[in-house]
Structure 1
Amino acid sequence: MGIRDAEDADTGRTGQGPGAAPPSRSSVDARTPPATPRNALASVHPAHRLFDLPQPLQVEEVCTREALLALRPEWNRLLARTGASVLSRHELLWAWLENFAPTISLRVLTARAPGGALSAVLPLLQRHARWAGLPVRELSSPGSAHLGRFDLLAEDAPAAASHFLRHLQEDPNWDLLRLEDVPHGGGAWSLQHAAEDAGLPCGSEPTRTSPALRLPCSVDALHARWSRSLRRRRKRLEDQGPVELEQVTGGARLVERLAEGLALDTCGARGRRGAAVAQDVRALGFYTDVALAAAEGGFLSLHLLRCRGYPVAFDFALRDGRRLVRLGSACDEAYRAFGPEHLLSAALLEHLVEQGFEECELLGPDAPDAQPWADRLCSHSRLLVFRASRRGRALHAARLRWLPGVQRALGWWRAGED
Structure 2
Amino acid sequence: MARGDDTDGALRIELTAGLTVPAAADVAWDDLAAASSSANIFYEPWLARAAAVLPEAGGPMVLMAWIDAPAAPPRLAGLLVLQRRAGWGGRIGVAVQNWDQRARALGEPLVRAGYEHAFWQAALDFLGQRRRMGHYLRLSALIADSPSTRALHDVLAARKRHATVTRSFERALLCGGSSSAEYIGANIRKKVLKEQRRLRNRLEEQGGLVFDQLAPAAAIDPWIDELFRLEMSGWKGREGVAAAADVATERCFRAVLRAAHERRRLDFRRLSVGGRTIALLANIEAGDTAFQLKIAYDEDYAAFSPGVLIEMDYLDYALDTRRLARVDSCARPNHPMIDRIWADRLPIVSLAVPFDRWSSRLACAAIDTLRKLRDKRARPVATDC
TM-score range, shorter chain: 0.7 to 0.9
Contact 1:154–1:187 (Cα < 8 Å) also in 2: no
CA distance 1:269–1:120, shift in 2 (3 Å)? same
**Residue of structure 1 in register with 2:125 after alignment:** 166
**Residue of structure 2 in register with 1:363 after alignment:** 329
Contact 1:112–1:119 (Cα < 8 Å) also in 2: yes
RMSD over aligned Cα atoms: 3.1
Task: Name the SS for the 1:160 alignment partner.
Answer: helix
**What's the offset of the Cα at 1:198?**
2.0
CA distance in 2, matches of 1:410, 1:182: 23
Say if 2:84 is the partner of 1:141: no
**Residue of structure 2 in register with 1:386 after alignment:** 354
CA distance in 1, matches of 2:258, 2:242: 20
CA distance 1:196–1:307, shift in 2 (3 Å)? same
**Residue of structure 2 in register with 1:37 after alignment:** none
TM, length-normalised to structure 2: 0.84
**What's the offset of the Cα at 1:313?**
0.7
4+ residue runs over 6 A deviation: 48-51
**Residue of structure 1 in register with 2:160 after alignment:** 199
Aligned pairs for 1:7-406 within 5 A: 55-67=9-21, 71-82=25-36, 84-87=38-41, 88-101=43-56, 103-114=58-69, 115-132=72-89, 134-144=91-101, 146-155=103-112, 156-173=115-132, 174-189=134-149, 190-200=151-161, 202-215=163-176, 217-218=178-179, 220-221=181-182, 224=185, 225=188, 227-364=193-330, 366=332, 368-369=334-335, 370-405=338-373
Q: What amino acid maps onto 1:179 in structure 2? A: L
Contact 1:132–1:403 (Cα < 8 Å) also in 2: no
CA distance 1:316–1:410, shift in 2 (3 Å)? closer
CA distance in 2, matches of 1:318, 1:410: 36
CA distance 1:282–1:129, shift in 2 (3 Å)? same
Task: Name the SS for the 1:325 alignment partner.
Answer: strand
Contact 1:303–1:315 (Cα < 8 Å) also in 2: yes
Task: Name the SS for the 1:65 alignment partner.
Answer: coil
Contact 2:170–2:347 (Cα < 8 Å) also in 1: yes
Range that drifts further, 74-83 or 295-304 = 74-83
Q: What amino acid maps onto 1:214 in structure 2? A: C
CA distance in 2, matches of 1:69, 1:137: 32
Q: What amino acid maps onto 1:193 in structure 2? A: D
Contact 1:323–1:358 (Cα < 8 Å) also in 2: yes
CA distance 1:106–1:218, shift in 2 (3 Å)? closer
Contact 2:171–2:331 (Cα < 8 Å) also in 1: no
**What's the offset of the Cα at 1:49?**
11
**What's the offset of the Cα at 1:84?**
4.1
Q: What amino acid maps onto 2:65 in structure 1? A: T
Range that drifts further, 195-204 or 154-163 = 195-204
Uncovered stretches (5+) of structure 2, i.e. residues with no partner: none
Range that drifts further, 282-291 or 217-226 = 217-226
Range that drifts further, 198-207 or 57-66 = 198-207
Task: Name the SS for the 1:98 alignment partner.
Answer: coil
Contact 1:245–1:306 (Cα < 8 Å) also in 2: yes
CA distance in 1, matches of 2:37, 2:260: 17
Contact 2:174–2:342 (Cα < 8 Å) also in 1: yes
Q: What amino acid maps onto 2:32 in structure 1? A: L
Deviations 1:129-166 (A, max 9, x none): 14345342211111345322122222211111111112
CA distance in 1, matches of 2:21, 2:287: 28
CA distance 1:215–1:161, shift in 2 (3 Å)? closer
**Residue of structure 2 in register with 1:26 after alignment:** none
**What's the offset of the Cα at 1:363?**
2.9
Task: Name the SS for the 2:86 alignment partner.
Answer: strand
Q: What amino acid maps onto 2:28 in structure 1? A: E
CA distance 1:220–1:172, shift in 2 (3 Å)? closer
TM, length-normalised to structure 1: 0.78
Contact 1:111–1:160 (Cα < 8 Å) also in 2: no
CA distance in 2, matches of 1:49, 1:362: 32
Range that drifts further, 284-293 or 303-312 = 284-293
CA distance 1:356–1:253, shift in 2 (3 Å)? closer
CA distance in 2, matches of 1:135, 1:157: 28
Task: Name the SS for the 2:311 alignment partner.
Answer: helix
Deviations 1:41-97 (A, max 9, x none): xxxxxxx9999x964222221224332676321111122234641524221222222
Range that drifts further, 96-105 or 69-78 = 96-105
Contact 1:152–1:187 (Cα < 8 Å) also in 2: no
CA distance 1:330–1:322, shift in 2 (3 Å)? same
**What's the offset of the Cα at 1:220?**
4.4
Task: Name the SS for the 1:372 alignment partner.
Answer: helix
CA distance in 1, matches of 2:276, 2:184: 26
Contact 1:303–1:314 (Cα < 8 Å) also in 2: yes
